[in-house]
Amino acid sequence: MYAVIATGGKQYRVEKNGTLRVELLDGEPGSTVQFDQVLLIADGTNVQVGAPLLKGSTVTATIEMHGQGDKVPVVKFRRRKHYLRMKNHRQKYTLVKITDIAQG
């Protein structure tokens, strides 16, 4: 059984007992979070597709940890204009473990 959820402006395919990196969520490690924007639930040959969301369906997850991704250089440059700006960016994320997929 798997589901497709939307969170943080992105869509993810999740399975029970799987781990997932999502955009930073509020909450402490060990707390429970529910994703109610479920787009699709599939169980073998039975597939339920929302238009655009499935009403009453939720995906429950436990927050494992918070972290930061790898450093990404950001460079703005204009040739022959003496313009160069260099920065770095590290995206924050939350690692969650999917505990339950509930159909509505």
Q: What is the C-alpha separation between 75 and 80, in angstroms, rounded?
A: 16
pTM of the model: 0.85
What's the confidence (pLDDT) of residue 104?
78
Q: What is the C-alpha separation between 61 and 20, in angstroms, rounded?
A: 10
Phi-psi region of 93 (alpha: psi -120 to 50; beta: other; left: phi over 0): beta
Segments making up each domain of the chain, as ranges: 2-102
**DSSP letters for 56-96:** T-EEEEEEEEEEE---EEEEEEETTTTEEEEEEE--EEEEE
- 9-67 residue pLDDT tens: 999 999 999 999 999 999 999 999 999 999 999 998 999 999 999 999 999 999 999 99
